Amino acid sequence: MNTHEIDYQIFGEEMQFVEIELDPFETVIAESGAFMMMDDEIEMATIFGDGSRKRGGIWDKVFSAGKRLLTGESLFMTAFTHQGRGKKKVSFASPYPGKIIPIDLCNYEEKIICQKDAFLCAAKGVSVGIEFSKKMGRGLFGGEGFIMQKIEGDGMAFMHAGGTVIEKELMIGEVLKIDTGCLVGFTRDVDYDIQLVGGIRNTVFGGEGLFFARLEGPGTVWVQSLPFSRLAGRVLSNLRGAGGGKGEGSILGTIGDLLDGDG
């Protein structure tokens, strides 16, 4: 393996954290702000990008890190290395209510494509890069734009998603339609596109958006029940006094809230 081998345990239900056990000189990388706690003799270091590139000059590292800006992430990641003896533990927490998804990349052809804020942490050697959409409609209306994250390697990686997370196995030609915000990630062979909801009443009054995410197998798809954008939107709606009634998202939503007494 090119990636450090790590053991782990996930704790909690709604607000989870993952505890990773490191042998001497093993390293785990994480997004800035994910750190929760660690044992003594574990050293923390800020690095350009994900640290998966062992060769190349400074400009290669700057270019690799700079690509992360396109996904809305920081130029830097944090590496935690066990510099002592025995086994030591370091923990990383989820940023909002949901589930942490452990992924052994060897079981998924060493590549996962996911939404831009899904990556939490991984064993050193796992590459966290960007995946450009080649389809115009998917880029414009897919909810994630033209750029998604890709996680590659032969080790353990951890994603985070909101609410309850379900893993769906799609057979060849099997199609799954989901809300664009509920898509967490999928394996390399899944064909991902967007599809118009269709129907004037659905479009104007449905409150479910104009497009579905359409995923066709074979492969694995991860779906979340509570996208962070939906959670944030509901909170903002209540802060503004809108009430977030049953007409959320539709043209007549605000009028409906007034009639229901929610306005």
CB atoms inside a 10 Å sphere around CB 129: 17
Residues 185, 32: Cα–Cα separation, whole Å: 21
pLDDT tens digits for range 148-175: 889 999 999 999 999 999 999 999 999 9
Phi-psi region of 134 (alpha: psi -120 to 50; beta: other; left: phi over 0): alpha
pLDDT band for position 206 (50/70/90)? very low
**Residue in this structure with the two tokens 């574990």, named with its chain if needed:** 42
| Pairing status of strand 191-196 against strand 127-132 | unpaired
CA angle 220, 223, 227 (to 5 degrees): 150
What pLDDT score was predicted for residue 245?
A: 47
pLDDT tens digits for range 1-13: 677 888 999 999 8
For residue 261, pLDDT over 50 is answered with no
For residue 71, pLDDT over 60 is answered with no
For residue 57, pLDDT over 70 is answered with no
Q: Say whether domain 7-230 belongs to CATH 3.60.160.10.
A: yes
For residue 232, pLDDT over 80 is answered with no
DSSP per-residue letters across the chain: --S---EEEEE-SSS-EEEEEE-TT-EEEE-TT-EEEE-TTEEEEEEETTS---SS-HHHHHHHHHHHHTTT--SEEEEEEE-SSS-EEEEEE-SSSEEEEEEEGGGGTTEEEE-TT-EEEEETT-EEEEEE---HHHHHHSSSTTEEEEEESSSEEEEEEES-EEEEEEPTT-EEEEEGGGEEEEETT-EEEEEE--SHHHHHHS-S-SEEEEEESSEEEEEESS-HHHHHHHHHHHHTT----TTTTSTTHHHHHHHHT--
pLDDT tens digits for range 107-138: 999 999 998 888 999 999 898 888 876 654 44
Segment among 64-73, 199-208, 239-248, 252-261 with least mean pLDDT: 252-261
Residues 89, 104: Cα–Cα separation, whole Å: 19
What pLDDT score was predicted for residue 173?
A: 95
What pLDDT score was predicted for residue 176?
A: 95
For residue 59, pLDDT over 60 is answered with no
Query: Are the beta carbons of 250 and 204 closer than 8 angstroms?
Result: yes
